[in-house]
Chains A and B, each alone.
Chain A
Amino acid sequence: MGFVVTSLIFAVVGVIASFGAGICCNRGPSTNLLHLTLIITATVCCWTMWAIVYLAQLNPLIVPVLSEGE
């Protein structure tokens, strides 16, 4: 699906989650900021993980060599 498209999906999910947390667990500005920080951090971590694994497989230098019996 392409790198850019999936990254956009991650960003959109992050934004939706932030708004969702702001709407349903609205407990004052300080707590809202904390929730926002946590959601942004989690989104960035998850996207990083996905992006690393995706980029590593874009132009691989080796290919799977099956072992006996497959």
Chain B
Amino acid sequence: MEYIDNMPSMDLMRSEKMTFVQLIIPAESAHRAVTYLGQLGLLQFRDLNAEKSPFQRTFVNQVKRCVEMSRKLRYFKDQMHKAGLLLPPLPASQPDIELEEIEIQLAEHEHELIEMNANSEKLRQSYNELLEFKMVLQKASGFLVSSSSHTTDREVELDENVYSNDNHADTASLLEQEMRSELSNQSGVRFISGIICTSKVLQFERILFRATRGNMLFNQAVADEEILDPSSNEMVEKIVFVVFFSGEQARTKILKICEAFGANCYPVPEDTTKRRQITQEVLSRLSELETTLDAGLLHRDKALTSIGYHLTKWINMVKTQKAVYDTLNMLNFDVTKKCLVGEGWCPIFAKTKIQEALQRATFDSSSQVGIIFHVMDAVESPPTYFRTNGFTNAFQEIVDAYGVAKYQEANPAVYTIVTFPFLFAVMFGDWGHGICLLLGALVLIARESKLSSQKLGSFMEMLFGGRYVLLLMSIFSIYCGLIYNEFFSVPFHIFGDSAYKCQDATCSNAQTVGLIKYKDPYPFGVDPSWRGSRSELPFLNSLKMKMSILLGVAQMNLGIIISYFNAHFFSSSLDIKYQFVPQVIFLNSLFGYLSILIVVKWCTGSQADLYHVMIYMFLSPFEALGENRLFWGQSVLQVVLLLLALIAVPWMLFPKPFILKRLHMERFQGRTYGILGTSEMMSIDDEPDSARERAEEFNFSEVFVHQMIHSIEFVLGAVSNTASYLRLWALSLAHSELSTVFYEKVLLLAWGYDNIIIRLVGLAVFAFATAFILLMMETLSAFLHALRLHWVEFQNKFYHGDGYKFNPFSFALLADDDD
């Protein structure tokens, strides 16, 4: 054991040692100190003002200013996005600007932009109105031509009117008579002209008809162009209408109905020359407005571009300043109101760097008083911090997704780096598909620098983040593919000749009795003769099921051994004696024995039925084995192992709670005399730092139930987890079968024809099916199942995972919440 303790420690295995620190900062250097600490990114502040609302905190005004500024910045970004301008990339170096200067500039720019937008709104509205007026003039002149310059020739008039108003034939004749008789009478027949959306015109007409009791004439024509509807920002079709009516009451009614339907009314003069004049005016005003609008747009785009040049930098500055003020809000003013007191966690190796940063802050803010930085004791458990690089980060995130490691417990990520891609490959094994995955991973890694600076979609981001996982997965897949001897489901004779040949030269009974094995087994992997034979599946199924059990028992044993090292690290001999030992005995006397039986059966070629052996080991252990006997002394060994397993269950269930209770009694027996000499006794317990919390309460029933749950979980889990590893067999079978089907039923079938088109189509279908189903779906599926095997079957042997992650105050880690 001393050898193990003397080995250099592996940083990734257990969390960095963390310490709880207290900072006392004089007020004038506070802002600068927090900024430098943010740049360093190695201190996690604890919120000392957690019970206060955001408005009760000290720096609430500054935070409000920052929030306001970021709102303005978002508005600018929005406007630029709407105008279709792109943000230029951040220039390399720029001089630092003060926050107040930014605030003033932002206010100016916002004011300018809002004004410009309002103006262009108004201009656009007038433009729309003029456009509508123009259309009304154009179309209405068609209706009014008939009613103006005709004094004689009433039959012609009548015909014309009837022609244009065929749906109001009855009313037309009456109205026409009235019109003819009072043609020049101003208070007689009058008209209202306007424009309305096409969708509302039928209802409009109907209601007008009812309101005027049929005493009206409705003409309509579709406008030539579509008009931009300001509320919905779409182009809508509009219809020009002219309503002829008589009487003042009718006029008010019609006007109200127009208003209700959102129809815009424009006065059209009856006189043709006047109409022509007005049309000319409208057209000239329209072209003026167009140029004005274009000029306005250009001006706004220029303003936006000049803002955009600085925008990214401003956004970053405002974000960092807001973060600094939020952190300052977490600190407390001390009694004299001249200093800020802060508390937090930092890794021990970072202490010197932090002290350096604080000294620099004192110097830069020309403060007379230095910043005090000292270590304190903490009641709660420290956060967990693993220093990962780009390669190990992905695997650590996979482990953390299930639960962050408790402070200083063993980190499963160390083994996951290899076992996760390995188990993936066991389920994916095909070296052709592995090569495709490898190419994908290499592409991602080669374009690493370019892709990491871009903003990627969520799927691409996940894929890019896991590029090293993908690389390892593909390398192991190539290895397992070589072992399973599958290249897009085709076996090759890479490692020599097959070990099987026909019984005689004519191969007459190859399809009934089969080949015979005439030399040593195929040196590397599955013999290529198996592929396509009728007994392929029975052989491969047996092989892969047994392989799954062996791999599963190995990984579970690794998990239990890691729990031993955890118990050794936390100096908990109770855990070693009453948890590790019975667990190892139970698992190995049953499933370790099964693994040994499998290997023995393979080595001796016996025909024993292992199902039978295992089941009857429990049902009738004293019965003779007969033909299922694999080695001498097997019956005795089985009885012994069964007894060991039976003893192991109460061994892991009962002693620990009773001993814990006894220890608790001993420790707090002389409570009236104070807690004497507790250091030795506390080291026996599980968690030395939280033992002080549990000072008063020792709920025996709770501890006992907890232990019972843990033991039952282990005992039942031993069976279910071992069976769960059979998914390695299941997925590998599914992959192999899918691959075979695509190869034989698509590619070979298409290749059988002589036609090149059918061959190309077959090749294309094969490529698509391989890419989407095998490379994407199967990869995800095997990834998921390998992940589950790690999270549940491997980690529940030793992992607590109830810690919390070290989350330092760092500018580099500020969340990008704009997007």
Contact = CB atoms under 8 A, between A and B. Distances in A.
Interface of A: 1-2, 6, 29-34, 37-38, 41-42, 45-46, 48-50, 52-68, 70
Interface of A (DSSP majority class): helix
Given A38-B418, A53-B526, A63-B516, A68 B602 contact: no
A49 B605 contact: no
Contacts of B12: 30, 34
17 contacts: A2-B520, A6-B523, A32-B8, A33-B7, A33-B10, A37-B10, A37-B414, A41-B419, A48-B550, A49-B480, A53-B483, A57-B527, A58-B602, A60-B539, A62-B538, A66-B511, A67-B511
B521 interface: yes
Given A37-B414, A63-B514, A64-B530, A56 B546 contact: yes
B16 to A, nearest CB: 11
Interface of B: 7-12, 414-415, 417-419, 422, 426, 479-480, 483-484, 499-500, 510-517, 520-527, 529-530, 532-536, 538-539, 542-543, 546-547, 550-551, 554, 599, 602-605, 607
Q: Which 10 A-B pairs have the closest CB atoms?
A: A59-B605, A65-B514, A29-B8, A64-B533, A57-B521, A63-B514, A41-B418, A55-B602, A30-B11, A45-B422
Contacts of A66: 510-511, 514-515, 532-534
A63 to B, nearest CB: 4
A56 B480 CA distance: 16
Contacts of A45: 418-419, 422
B289 to A, nearest CB: 70
B605 A34 contact: no
B419 to A, nearest CB: 7
A65 B510 contact: yes
B480 A63 contact: no
A70 B480 contact: no
B417 A38 contact: yes
Contacts of B534: 65-67
Contacts of B532: 66-67, 70
A50 B425 CA distance: 13
Contact of A33 (B8, B500, B524): B8
B547 A52 contact: yes
B150 to A, nearest CB: 96
Contacts of B11: 30-31, 34
Contact of A48 (B8, B523, B554): B554
Contacts of B8: 29-30, 32-33
Contacts of A38: 414, 417-418
Contacts of B536: 64
Contacts of B607: 61
A57 B483 contact: no
Given A53-B483, A64-B536, 9 more contacts: A45-B419, A52-B546, A55-B603, A56-B547, A57-B499, A63-B516, A64-B500, A64-B514, A64-B530
A18 B701 CA distance: 51
A67 B550 CA distance: 31
Contact of B10 (A34, A42, A61, A63): A34
Nearest to A61: B607
Nearest to A65: B514
A59 B499 CA distance: 12
Contacts of B547: 49, 52-53, 56
B442 to A, nearest CB: 19
B392 to A, nearest CB: 8
A20 B554 CA distance: 27
Contacts of B521: 54, 57-58
A50 B551 CA distance: 12
Given A55-B602, A58-B605, A42 B515 contact: no
Given A49-B426, A49-B480, A65-B513, A1 B533 contact: no
Contacts of B525: 50, 53
Given A50-B483, A61-B607, A56 B543 contact: yes
A59 B510 contact: no
A6 B602 CA distance: 18
Contacts of B7: 33
Give the one of A1, A48, A52 with max B CB within 10 A: A52
B554 A65 contact: no
A15 to B, nearest CB: 17
Nearest to A64: B533
A14 B726 CA distance: 29
Nearest to B495: A1
A53 to B, nearest CB: 6
A68 B607 CA distance: 28
B390 to A, nearest CB: 14
B415 to A, nearest CB: 6
A10 B78 CA distance: 61
Nearest to B10: A33
Contacts of B419: 41, 45
A44 to B, nearest CB: 9
Contacts of A42: 418, 422
A17 to B, nearest CB: 13
A15 B217 CA distance: 102
Nearest to B555: A45
Given A41-B418, A48-B554, A61 B499 contact: no
A62 B539 contact: yes
Contacts of B599: 55
A65 B551 contact: no
B722 to A, nearest CB: 16
A62 B534 CA distance: 11
A62 to B, nearest CB: 5
Nearest to A43: B418
